[in-house]
Amino acid sequence: MNFKANKLFYINLCVVNVFALIFIFRNYPVMGHDYSYYLPALHDFYYAFTKYGVLFLEYTSQKCSGVPVWANPSGMTFSLVHFFSLIFPPPISLVVYYVVFFSISYLGCDRFLKRFVNSNELRSVFSLAWSLQTFLLVRSFVGHMQFVTLGLLPLYAYFIFHKKVYSFKDRLLCIVPAVFLANDIYMGGANTFIISTAGLVFYFAFDVLFLKNIEKKSGLISLFLSISSGIVLAYPKLSASLDLIRNVKREVSFTVIDFYDSLVVTINILFSPFSIDYQSNAGWSFGNWEAANCLLPGMFFFLLYKLKDKKVELSNLVKYFSIFLAFGVLINWGIYAPLVKEIPILNSLHVNPRFMFVFNLTILAVIASFSSILSVDRIVIYFYPFLIILTALGNLNISTLGQPYLAFTGMDVGGNRLSYCYEPVFGYGLEKMPKHIKDSNFKSLIDPRCYLNSYKDKCDSLSTLTGEDEKLLRDYKLSL
């Protein structure tokens, strides 16, 4: 790609990465609250590899007196960030991880938009808007590391739906989104895998019904190949995780709220550029980072500005956004909770508003489809990126109970962190952890194999380890 002819493309790519890193690490060394879970895990990977040459951790002694790592649904073994952490110590591995994913998000969006937008400059601006949407920035700031992978949805759509007639070689390209979808599972992102697949299915259905860019049969085959291949690639992790969660069950945590509350939340997420703390009269609440979506308000400016163009049909806009609103209310209402109560993995998900991201790829396609019939003004090209950045800056008040980086990573990672215990697989209050272990205040090592369903018949209880077994677990070399 010629630099002079596409100068704005490269400038915006730099803007995306620089602004994202400043936003995420702006309080460093204080980090968002969920980094208290993920940064110690990255330290474990780095320490085990650099000191012992151990790549694969089945268990760790670094918290809760010993817990599974590989079988943990929230574990990150064999994900991309795991491999980054073998090369770079935290938080440098985090910086590399975010640069890679924000860059791919930007580049993938640009490729996806070629179907709709002829102008290189306008594609660059829209790609910047997609990559710097506050959902991705705010999640990364508070420590929801997996959610940045949702920025790759346009890339998935490009490889899956980029042609109307597919050759065998084109079908093979479906493996690209499959690899990234599998990475979601390996990274402990059941949330992101479900949102990504649901977002692709919603976009496919919406396009077939309204936008008419995708050939129905070919698109459906490619979509099925990508999702099914992703599940096959992730099977080892899924199998191990099911072995653990069959033995450590959590109740469904989808929240059922009234219609009015769900309507208020949906309108805020879709149309407000600012996140809110929300608490209903029934006591249902979430932090303001959960309401950070804000792709539509930034991109909606483009349509409002262009409504003066007679070619934009207001009736179509109203119809499309009414569909987003209706489905959003259903998501936040949570009336489907009883349906997923007995489904493994699904029944441990929570916080309905985050699933509103399902619509974002389709919103992007709708905006882009209108832009293809409009003239491109300089004011859009040069002012629009500032509007997107201002929207992000409007969410600097995100309330997160951060801790200094060293407060949860500077302890002795050689085995003296037994009493540290923050492990969501046991519930957020550790309510699913066996009582005798909680009562022991995690003073002695236990045999983490006994958490697994396939091993529990060999355990009278979660046995305390002593002697050589304890040494092996502390040294990361315990195996079945």
- How many H helices and E strands in the chain? 21, 6
Tokens of 448: 């983490």
Contacts of 459 (CB under 8 A, 6+ apart): 447, 449, 450
More confident call, 298 vs 160: 160
Angle at 297 between CA 294 and CA 301, to 5 degrees: 150
Q: Following DSSP, what letter does each residue of 356-421 receive, concatenated?
A: GGGGHHHHHHHHHHHHTTS---HHHHHHHHHHHHHHHHTTTT-----EEHHHHHSS-TTT--TT--
- Pick the most confident of 54-58, 430-434, 472-476: 54-58
* Residues 226, 234: Cα–Cα separation, whole Å: 12
Angle at 212 between CA 192 and CA 154, to 5 degrees: 30
**Residue 149 scores a pLDDT above 90:** yes
Contacts of 248 (CB under 8 A, 6+ apart): 425, 426, 432, 451
Mean pLDDT of 334-351: 65
* Residues 444, 163: Cα–Cα separation, whole Å: 59
Greatest Cα-to-Cα distance within the chain, rounded to the nearest angstrom: 79
The H or E element that residue 68 is part of is strand 67-68
More confident call, 157 vs 26: 157
Task: Say whether 432 sits in a helix, a strand or coil.
Answer: coil
pTM, two decimals, is 0.88
The H or E element that residue 467 is part of is helix 467-474
Tell me if 199 sits within 8 A of 361, measured CB to CB: yes
Average pLDDT, the chain: 79
pLDDT tens column, 27-84: 888 888 888 888 888 888 888 888 888 888 888 877 787 889 999 998 999 999 999 9
* Residues 181, 230: Cα–Cα separation, whole Å: 5
